[in-house]
Structure 1
Amino acid sequence: MSKKGLILIVFLHLAMWMHASAQDSLQVQASLDSIKGMADDTVKVNRLMARSKSLYRYFDKRKEDNAFLQEAINVSHKIRYNKGLAEGYNELGTAKRNKSQYILAADFHERALKYAEDAKDVRLITISLNNIGVDYRRRDMLPKAFDFHFRALKLAEKANDVRNICIATNSIGNIKLSDGKYNDAIQEFSRSLRLEREGKNDLGVAINLGNLGYAYEGLGQLDKAIEYYKSSLAVNQAMDNKTGMSICYTCLGTAYQKKKNYPLAMEYLQKALQANDKVDDKVHVAESYLSIGRLLNEEGKHEEARKYIQGSIDLGLKWGFKSTLMEAYKAMADNYKRAGDFNRSIDNSNLSLLYKDSILDERSTTEFAQMQAMYVVHQKDNQIKQLQQEQDISQLRIRRNLALAIALAGFLFMLIVGGFFYIRHRNLQANRQTLQLELRSLRSQMNPHFIFNSLSSIHRYIWSNNQEEASDYLTKFSKLMRMILDNSQHTFIPLNKELESLRLYLDLEALRCNNIFDYNIHVAENINEEEVLIPPMIIQPYVENSIWHGLVHRKDKGRLDINVSLNGRVLEILVTDNGIGRKLAMEIKAKKDHLHNSMGMKVTEGRIALIRKINNTKDANVVVNDLQDHVGLATGTQVKIVLPAEFLF
């Protein structure tokens, strides 16, 4: 055949291939366009997912993103279909993992987990957890991988999901295997093997048999390991699984090599080489050459070993298998070292190190590229969320306009009826504002009174105690003053702030009175202290009265209890002391020839009366009870403060 004829044939074959490829592209695009024309709903998402799975090889060969899968995710975002998002991101994460992009894979699988949890789909949650576990295992992050697989296992067991139980158990076994915990690994692989046999999953059976072989080999039980490798080989042969057969042959060769049975080891490694010749991925052929070369190195057959190692290097250079080249040059360096040619050994060691550095650089570049891709994806998701928010706002506007139209239609009727109620409401509002102003006025009286009393206490305390204690007292007092000033700006404050200032006040009074009493503040469990609101400084006057008219006159140590409870929409505060009682307190004051007018209590009673008016309720009052024992002797006083409950939300 002439040279021109040969060129013509090559050109025709190329043209036919390009035409077939173009036809495939047109058919795929037409299929995508036809589905895109459907209404956005769950049926459309499911159809897109089905097509994405059937065409994943087509997109892999072209090294393109799966357009059907991406469209399924986009539509799921639009209709807020959490199940579709979980399935889509799981598929996308697995596709990235198959390309060794483990960082991106974990990010997508974690998104899938979030949407699966939002969908409350236990099966999808379990699948997502297992996928994340595999991603972390591939990155040698074993503790994190174990946590995710363990969570998946517990969920799968609860749901009796055998498929995911097998996946989780096998993965946990592999983690134990990588961690050198071979007995634990055997236990996990044995359980997985039993379930795979019960489910008649031959591939799963073959994988677990091989894994058991790895575990026993790790324990040094080579005969048992060989037995499991052979069992796995038999299952792979029955399935005609060339990749599985190659792995088993290689494992058997390695095991016999460890047993120093070099002829049998060579026989199985040669079988692995023959099996790999039938596999498209030439990396397995290169690895088989390398394994044979290492065996021959160990046998001392240096010249023959060099040929096989060189074959591995040639394939690595042709196809760009950097990991294989790193190991092959390392094996060649060992070969020359054994042969006594140290210069060539050093040269090959340097080449091995160059490829090791190249792999590390490539890994860093790949990880950086994945991080950039994650950033782009997150930006895109934020854009989608922003568009959804804009759609929500648009819908709200439509609803608002509709409501406005309805309101305008009934305007005349509401004008007549509402006029009366408006005038009445305005009068009530004016009264309420007047009462609010009175309440603020009383509150402003309360605070100066308390500050005056506290300053008097500090004055006496400084003159009767040392400087260090006085400084501590002043520090606490300044903190209390700051809280009072902050709280006094509001009509109502959260209960926790009121109790915080009350505790600080009680600490100061306890210091001032040489700790002659203990106190306890108890809040019922059904009260959220940050949400329940209370007028500021409403409890303090009654606490002050209990201390200075009841507890300070006791001979032994007194006790003050403050209990806060919530009954429906009524807040009850009990201030209970075991002081001398009101009757005896009045007698003591009479003997001292003066009666103290409790400005704080009067102001507080006025505040509570105004609260009762503002809320138009009877649930706002103060009741004081004298406590007595069985013979009628005074045992203290109890003040019950009842307020209508106010809430932050």
Structure 2
Amino acid sequence: MAKRIQFYEECASNLQNIGTAFDYLGKIDSSLVYFKKALVFANLSKNKTNIAYVLTDLGYVYNSKGNITLAIENNLKALNIFEEIKDLEGVERTYFALGRIFDTQKEFIKAISYYQKGLKIATENNFENRKCILLNSLSYSYFQIKKDIQAEYYAKKGLLVAQKNNFETAKAMSLKHIGDVKFRANDFLEAEKYFLESAGIFKKYNVDNNYARLLIDLGSINIKRDNNQKALMYANEAFEIAKKSNYPSEKKSAAELLSIIYQLNKKFKEAYTFQSIAKSIGDSIFYDENKNIVLKSEFKYEAQKQNAQIKLLSQQKKIALLENQRQKTIIFSIVIGSIFSGLLIFLMLKRYKSSKENELLKVTFQEKEKTLNAEKKATESELKALKSQMNPHFIFNALNSIQEQFMFGDKLIANEQMSNFTYLTRQILSISGKKKISLATEVEILTKYLELEKMRFETDFNYYISVDSSIDDQYVELPPMLIQPFVENSIKHGLLHKKGLKILKINFDIDTNEEYLLCTIEDNGIGRKKAEEIKTNNRHDSFSTQSIAQRLQLLNDTNSIEEVLIYEDLEDLNAKTTGTRVKLRIALLS
């Protein structure tokens, strides 16, 4: 009906639905034929959104057939259109599709990068359902590369979003991913708990393929626990569901599990039967019994189109012959002129191409030069930071304080602080060649450092280090010794010259988009103005913090230095200086 009234958008939509139905049946070739037809009508409709969504369907099918080149090509075409028309949902879905392609090729790191891009869009635009899907996809990819901590983290995050929005099937998928992590950790009791809850949801909503997959997982757990009878019950149910619902992949997995169970029970005849079934499915899983019929329909459609083109060409040929007879001389002149013009254009194009190639080489050279300069700056900055990590003044002061303890003070404290100093020195030497360390390690080094600095004061110096509960300090990483120079500045220039109780606070937090680690260093010292006067008299150059500022700039190349490093003067109600606060914005390392 849509075709009869030339409603091309609806034609494309119906053909997409037919293609999707064939995909659910596992008929990949039929899906491809109908998605190709859908693209023809989408192009006729000139609706860019329609065209882009059909291209993503084609990309999905080509991925299923193993033609990665065409899968990526179609998705990238769709991505260009979505970006042009500013369809953020389409952009996010295409990122997700590209992630799936790389998942299929076991390029899980690349898949994760696309899922992260999609997750950012979904988070910023409150696409809660899509956010759930992307979190579960990230969990799956991390699980495949055996990063179980991250896999469980994203699965649990997806579970929270699903529970908040009542996305039951997404919740079930998150529960399955958590169960997978527990299963690999041999925590079979916990794994079974998550699998059972997930299976219950999939069964309730008649998602038979996922329900069958969970039954297979439960069967595998019971094999591990030597409960072959229960494993057989789960495997038989999974096989019957897959057979009834025509899910070849799940049917194959259930048959393989039944074969293993029967082997364990020494029923070799039954084991052989199910192994044969699994092999048969494996050989024909992509077989499409309607393939020839559909291809014939496609051929008929293409043939009709070609016949129409041949008729048109025939008519044009007759007109051309008549024109040739009447205007032979004119045409001859045009031909000669065209040849001459063609030669001229060819020479001009060749020259233009040569000029463009030279231009491109020049631009490439300039870009490489810029890259090398940036790398050189990064290296120089890291070397400066390394030189400043063990400040000679700090070493002298620490050893001097320890020596005083040995000579005039408590030898037990002196031994303890010497141990701290030795440990700190080793730690700094150990991390000096590393590009990143965990936040937990950075906090440990800061603590040892502050304990040594505390000896320089009587009993009037207290420090506090806090890490927000939302941060996994073993997982979050940052460049080594990034914070210490600022802490040293607070002590040396702010607190050392203050009378009375001296307090230093260090806090670590994370921004709402989980892109930056936020560090705040606050003291109740004499303030920057007085410190600057003392510094001027002593002619001291704050080399360390200048170096760290350069490192922060390089880590946050899209932000200005004013955005990543902020100094604040603290004042009371009478505008009297009460201390200094430094805020650092550190891009999270991946």
TM-score norm. by structure 2 comes to: 0.50
TM-score norm. by structure 1 comes to: 0.46
Larger radius of gyration: 1
